[in-house]
Amino acid sequence: MPAETIRLLISCTDTRGIIAAVSAFIAQHAGNIVELDQHTDDSTGWFFMRVEVEAEGFGLSRLSFGPAWSPLAARFSMDWSVRWGGDLRRVVILASREGHCLHDLLFRWKAGELACEIPLVLSNHEDLRPIAESAGVPFRCVTGPDKSEQEQTLLRLIRESRAELIVLARYMQVLSPAFVAAYPNGIINIHHSFLPAFAGPRPYHQAFERGVKLIGATSHYVTESLDQGPIIAQQTAPVGHRDNVQSLIRKGRDLERVVLARSVRLHLNDQTIVACNRTIVFD
């Protein structure tokens, strides 16, 4: 198993000396940098940085890091966050009737590919209960004629689970602005992405009728604007004249599984920073 690390994310206005100051701070506290990545956005002049430090031998603890780091952060007016790799995030998964993404996430989690805890699966249908319970994860079905009451119940259950991340694994409900605002940059969604785009029902049938040559999947953070949040990951697959509607759907599901899992893994590993509706991905 890899050694536990401390992951530090930084964003601020670009200026000379940031990397040197951060490196010196870590060295001053007996830290060993095992990974450092940075990016400057030329269009905004904004600087982004991800630093991974060995936890063993580091001279600061979870409690002492903030007070020690704050003067340097103030010097460069940084937005920052730090996480000890051993502190696993709690993730709640929401799904409806299609089980391919839920299956995949739970399989990867049980296989140790996703470093998190999954305390709960929520749905607006009973169809996927066997999938969750076979993985040893509690399942709750939340439905009803009143959308507002339904959302309040979802929020209560999510808060009681102490979740930090919500994953929409083909959850076929539109979340209200109030729901989204409760978890800024903390909800990840997956959906098909066709070139050209086909909205509404039966998108794969529309794509087949148009003879598309490329289909894809997009995963993004959820914002108030439907399917317009900062993109985390995308992937495409070619389509040929021998494909039919069923093979398009199968290829689309394969893409959705892989792209959603990759996005969740990037988030859990603190490899994303959201800025101006764009996502900086240190992969």
CA–CA distance, 270 with 88 (Å, rounded to integer): 11
Closest CA to 115 of 124, 105, 123: 105
Beta-strand pair 278-281/272-275 = antiparallel
CB-side neighbour CA atoms (13 Å) of 282:
24
Structure tokens at 31: 């830290």
150 burial via Cβ count (<10 Å: 0-12, 13-18, 19+):
middle
Q: Kind of pairing, strands 272-275 and 5-13?
A: unpaired
Active-site residue among 14, 127, 227, 254?
227
Question: Is 227 marked active-site?
Answer: yes
Q: Is there a contact between 68 and 60 (Cβ–Cβ < 8 Å)?
A: yes
User: Which two tokens mark 76?
Assistant: 């460069």
Residue 189 and residue 65: Cα distance in Å, rounded? Answer: 33
In 10-87, which residue ranges form alpha helices assigned H by DSSP?
18-28, 62-75
- As a whole number of angstroms, the distance between CA 34 and CA 55 comes to 10
List CB contacts of 99: < 8 A, sequence separation 6 or more.
127, 128, 131
SS3 state of residue 269: coil
CA 90 to chain centroid: 12
CA nearest 117: which of 157, 87, 84? 87
Catalytic residues: 227
